[in-house]
Amino acid sequence: MRPKARLRPRSTAAVLACSLTLLVGACGGNNDQPGTASRDSADDGARVELTIATFNEFGYGDLYREYEAAHPNVKITERHAETVDEHIKNLEANLASGSGMADIEAMEVSWIYKYLAKADKFVDLRDFGAGDLSKRWLDWKVAGATAPGGKIIGYGTDIGPEAICYRRDLFAKAGLPTDRAEVAKLFPDWSSYFSYGRKFKAKMPSSAWYDSAALTWDAMRNQLIEAYYSNQDRYLGEDNELLHRTWSQIVAGSEDGLSAKLPTWSDAWTKAFRTDAFATMACPGWLLGVISDNAGSFGKGKWDVADVFPGGGGNWGGSYLTVPTQSTQPQEAAKLAAWLTAPEQQIKVFKKVGSFPSTVDAYDAEQVKSQVNAYFNNAPVGQIFINRANSVILKQHKGPRDGEINQVFSQALERVDQGKQKPSAAWKQALREADKAASTRAGN
pLDDT tens digit string along 76-92? 999 999 888 899 999 99
Beta pairing, strands 278-284 & 208-210: parallel
- Alpha carbon distance 190, 202 (integer Å): 19
pLDDT classification of 371: cutoffs 50, 70, 90: very high
Mean of the pLDDT values across residues 62-85?
95
Mean of the pLDDT values across residues 20-28?
30
- The predicted pLDDT at position 149 comes to 87
- The predicted pLDDT at position 394 comes to 67
- The predicted pLDDT at position 46 comes to 84
Q: What is the pTM of this model?
A: 0.84
Residue 47 — φ and ψ, nearest 5°? -70, 135
| CA distance to 70, 111, 120, per residue, from 324 (Å) | 25, 16, 9
Name the amino acid, one letter, at 188: P
Mean of the pLDDT values across residues 318-325?
97
Residue 8: is its pLDDT beyond 70? no
Nearest residue to 300 via CA among 273, 278, 262, 277: 273
**Is residue 161 a contact partner of residue 389, using CB atoms and an 8 Å limit?**
yes
Positive or negative, the CA dihedral 185, 301, 2, 435 is positive
| CA distance to 33, 52, 134, 367, 369, per residue, from 364 (Å) | 18, 29, 16, 9, 7
| CA distance to 85, 168, 217, 223, per residue, from 409 (Å) | 19, 32, 9, 16
Q: 41-45, 64-68, 226-230, 286-290: which has the minimum mean pLDDT? A: 41-45
Mean of the pLDDT values across residues 425-430?
96
Interval 87-117: pLDDT, tens: 999 999 999 999 999 999 999 988 898 899 8
